[in-house]
Structure 1
Amino acid sequence: MPVEVNIEAFEGPLDLLLHLIQEEELPITEVSLSRIADQYLEQLAHVEDRSPENLSQFLVVAAQLLLLKSRALLPQEEQEELEEDVTDLTERLRDLRSFREAAKELRDRYAGPTEAFEPRFYPPPQALFVPEGVTSSSLADALKELLIGLAKERQLLQEETLEATVTVDEKIDEIRSYIKKGVDVSFLKLVESATSKTELVVTFLSTLELMKQQEVEVRQADSFSDIIISSR
């Protein structure tokens, strides 16, 4: 589902907005991420195809925008501390993009005519894992809350001094330490001692990565309640 954005600094497809920001033709600080999330949810409410694939496409672009804006808001001396995390997350997003392109190529091959008599075997596309109890709307709501919180705390984030940067791998190890013991852990517990908005975002992305690897499953009582993480 193509996402159309209409904000003060830009009007057009979300993918084009990301391209302009990456090419430094549009300052990320002029882009309201919370408004983009609102417009996406409004468009999502008027379409029938609310598949996890469509949501994942939006999350890939939204996560890139969120990282770019976080770097733009942090003081210059702290940006070097985040470089390793940003590089790691960028590689993960590129892997997701490559997976989407490969899946499209497979669909095109299956849909096209057979040109050879020799039997051919193509491996079936990998099934997309949808955690039990989690919907596209609940994930979108969680991302929206993160974006709104970042916008409200922009001034505090600029003045904040990070004593230590938490990496995605460290957060993944922390979550695994709970689930290996057979203990469920809540998302709020994981971020209750967070010292920055960056750590909150890293925790969210670490949870998504473990869901992608099918190591954990998550559930919510309702759209705005705490997220409970447990071993699969």
Structure 2
Amino acid sequence: MTQYNVRLDAFEGPLDLLLHLINRYEIDIYDIPVAKITEQYLEYIHTMQELQLDIASEYLVMAATLIAIKSKTLLPKYEEDEFDQQLEMEMDEDPRDELVRRLIEYRKFKEASSYLREHESKRSLTFSKPPSNLDHFEAKQEPVNPVSNMTIYDLVGAFQSLFDKKKTKNAPKTKIDRQEIPIDKRMSEIVTELRFRKGVQTFQNLFPYPSKDHMVVTFLAVLELMKTRQIRCEQDENFNEISIHLMEEDIS
């Protein structure tokens, strides 16, 4: 299969992924279950590798950090008289403290950036000039967020679950050789299918074949269509079905 490498701006870094997992599973940030969060984090990394996405080195560094913290939490605690006072203080320190501090600091900056972005958007609509007749200008619609009420990690998680379900099903023994599908061709097929469905299709129904190659190409095609703002994804609530919508200007 041809190698496809895609880098998306929506992946903001390992701390963003950790914060997403904490929010998704409603985990107390001050009492992180390291074993569970490490397992979920590594699953996302594995899924990114399955999709042949470029994984920045900081994701792998964070994976190593989580494994190291997990190892420290599993170490047995010794009696107090076996170490001097300084070593006892080090043993009493929670190995998660530094990670929690970084996450809290990152969350503060993330919330602040969201607040500033919102106010910058509102401020951009304010003009310090006398009123003018602008009827002759064509109203331009603001760009639609391709990912509504969800993050790119939700989409990767949905693909991960779908991929696991497809693998567990017994595939037919008959092998049919077919030509590999280029991403641009699969993108056109998805757009055509959305137009046929009046602009809406469920994420799961975009993957009719259990073939790994076809699933990966389809998922990468979805990401590229989002990146070029030809489609957008919506999810009403956590764990609900994700729906794919064709942008209005693309609906014939």
TM norm structure 2: 0.38
Q: Work out which of the two has the higher radius of gyration on C-alpha atoms and give 1 or 2.
A: 2
TM norm structure 1: 0.41
